[in-house]
Amino acid sequence: MSSIALKGDIVFTPNKDAFKTYKDHYLVVEDGKVVGIFKELKEEYKNYPVKEYTDKLIIPGFVDIHLHAPQYPNLGLGLDKELIPWLNTYTFPEEAKYNDLEYAEKVYRRLIYDLWRKGTTSSIVYSSIHKEGTKLLMDLFIDSNLRAYVGKVNMDRNTIPELSEDTEKSLEDTEEIIKEYNDKSSLVKPIITPRFVPSCTEKLMKGLGDLAIRYDIPVQSHLSENTDEVEWVKSLHPEFKDYASVYNAYNLFGQTKTIMAHCIYNTENELDLMEKNQVYAAHCPHSNYNLSSGIMPVRKFLDKGIPVGLGSDVSGGHSLSMPSVMVAAIQASKMKWLETNKELKPLTSSEAFFLATKGGGSFFGKVGSFEEGYALDALVIDDSDLGHMDGLSLEDRLQRFIYIGDDRNIVERYVDGKRVEKPM
């Protein structure tokens, strides 16, 4: 059994309302899982190797619950467009390139390196429609020792010819990946990924819902991101009450664990369904600003008990940095607060941190916190160059790192109790 103790200034959010802080304490880990936090090392742990991180912050690794791996080369491109023209002009042509495995490997290696560099220890990722490219991405994640769900994208309508799949083949490829990868790694798992309703025929959605149930595989997709998109779904499916009801009819809305990205223009019925089925909302504020989509009313989701995490949504979002996404989420919530005559309260810093750690991490299980039994997914932060430190609480230091720090301050990453080396 591998056991270890990390010693330093420990900060995490067991709930969204407050940080828990421990100055100069030991975080004791057995078999990759947290046993407890102690001021002095108890007798029974005295022979555990101690990693000394004096005056450094030890925090949970970041969790990004929505990003598109093959869009990585488009980072920062085309962001003067709205969603649908952006997809057609920039995104689909880029995603069509991933039948070229040499190209795919170059992009995916760089992406995984950047996730590691920026302290994202868990991510929930869209691949492209390509089966072999998706397997390659999963294998690279397995090699990296980072935690991930990876989904082969399914699309059989309303796209460019290179991305329009034969429905049966799309289902067969998805099933092959599920069978091959469901038990291949404890850290990297498949997730069923209908791109969004406009990209998927009812036959495809039904087939994917059947696979989700048969193999008990989670689902990810997009929901109510943009007003033109919502109208489009209405015109494609006038027989359904709303956008979410289409997914729900095909067992793609919480029948197995589900994440829906964006969720800006939801009806009350959709919110009720999300709450009832415990469907996660992936809040992606950078993307929502960049594509002029709107501001998600995140407070409404939290008040209703809908699970929420944060997503970089690369490349609708322009940065993989989760601290940057946290800042954007706080800023967006302040604009929503003003827009609603101060009804929907802004996010606090502990809430934003919770969303980027335990909030999204709960999709993986006991991930994103340092409570007993949680996986030790952690970052060690050297914030000594970020300014005057005297008299600052651990909470203040963490807040400052989130606003003005960057990946140069991250000196170690751990996943499941093991130090994660720089990916090759």
Residue from 7, 51, 118, 222 binding ligand XAN (CB under 6 A) = 222
Does 130 sit near ligand XAN (CB under 6 A)?
Answer: no
Does 316 sit near ligand XAN (CB under 6 A)?
Answer: yes
Does 64 sit near ligand XAN (CB under 6 A)?
Answer: no
Does 195 sit near ligand XAN (CB under 6 A)?
Answer: yes
Does 289 sit near ligand XAN (CB under 6 A)?
Answer: no
87 vs 330, beta carbon nearer ligand XAN? 87
Q: How far is the CB of 23 from ligand XAN (least distance, A)?
A: 41
Residue from 12, 37, 67, 91 binding ligand XAN (CB under 6 A) = 91
Does 196 sit near ligand XAN (CB under 6 A)?
Answer: yes
128 vs 321, beta carbon nearer ligand XAN? 128
Print the SS3 string covering the chain. Answer: CCEEEEEEEEEEEEECCEEEEEEEEEEEEECCEEEEEECCCCHHHCCCCEEEEEEEEEEECEEEEEEEHHHHHHCCCCCCCCHHHHHHHHHHHHHHHHHCHHHHHHHHHHHHHHHHHCCEEEEEEECCCCHHHHHHHHHHHHHHCCEEEEECEECCCCCCHHHCCCHHHHHHHHHHHHHHHCCCCCCEEECEEECCHHHCCHHHHHHHHHHHHHHCCCEEEEECCCHHHHHHHHHHCCCCCCHHHHHHHCCCCCCCCEEEEECCCCCHHHHHHHHHHCCEEEECHHHHHHCCCCCCCHHHHHHHCCCEEECCCECCECCCCHHHHHHHHHHHHHHHHHHCCCCCCCCCHHHHHHHHHHHHHHHHCCCCCCCCCCECCEEEECCCCCCCCCCCCHHHHHHHHHHHCCHHHEEEEEECCEECCCCC
Number of residues that bind ligand XAN (CB under 6 A): 11
Q: Show the site string, 150-189: x = touches ligand XAN by CB under 6 A, - = not.
A: ----------------------------------------
413 DSSP β-pair partners: 379
91 vs 350, beta carbon nearer ligand XAN? 91
92 vs 374, beta carbon nearer ligand XAN? 92
6 vs 115, beta carbon nearer ligand XAN? 115
Q: How far is the CB of 29 from ligand XAN (least distance, A)?
A: 37
Does 225 sit near ligand XAN (CB under 6 A)?
Answer: yes
Q: How far is the CB of 86 from ligand XAN (least distance, A)?
A: 8
Residue from 51, 56, 68, 300 binding ligand XAN (CB under 6 A) = 68
Q: How far is the CB of 164 from ligand XAN (least distance, A)?
A: 14
Does 318 sit near ligand XAN (CB under 6 A)?
Answer: no
Q: How far is the CB of 224 from ligand XAN (least distance, A)?
A: 10
Q: How far is CA 129 from each of CA 174, 411, 415, rounded to the nearest angstrom? A: 9, 36, 29
Say how far apart CA 316 and CA 90 lie, in whole Å: 10
Encoding tokens for residue 25? 């304490």
Q: How far is the CB of 226 from ligand XAN (least distance, A)?
A: 8
Q: How far is the CB of 155 from ligand XAN (least distance, A)?
A: 9
Residue at shortest CB range from ligand XAN: 316
54 vs 235, beta carbon nearer ligand XAN? 235
Say how far apart CA 173 and CA 176 lie, in whole Å: 5
Does 313 sit near ligand XAN (CB under 6 A)?
Answer: yes
32 vs 317, beta carbon nearer ligand XAN? 317
Q: How far is the CB of 222 from ligand XAN (least distance, A)?
A: 4
**Contact status, residue 215 vs residue 178, Cβ threshold 8 Å:** yes
Say how far apart CA 370 and CA 414 lie, in whole Å: 12
Q: Which stretch binds ligand XAN (CB under 6 A): 83-91, 158-166, 326-334, 355-363?
A: 83-91
Binding site for ligand XAN (CB under 6 A): 68, 83, 87, 91, 195-196, 222, 225, 287, 313, 316
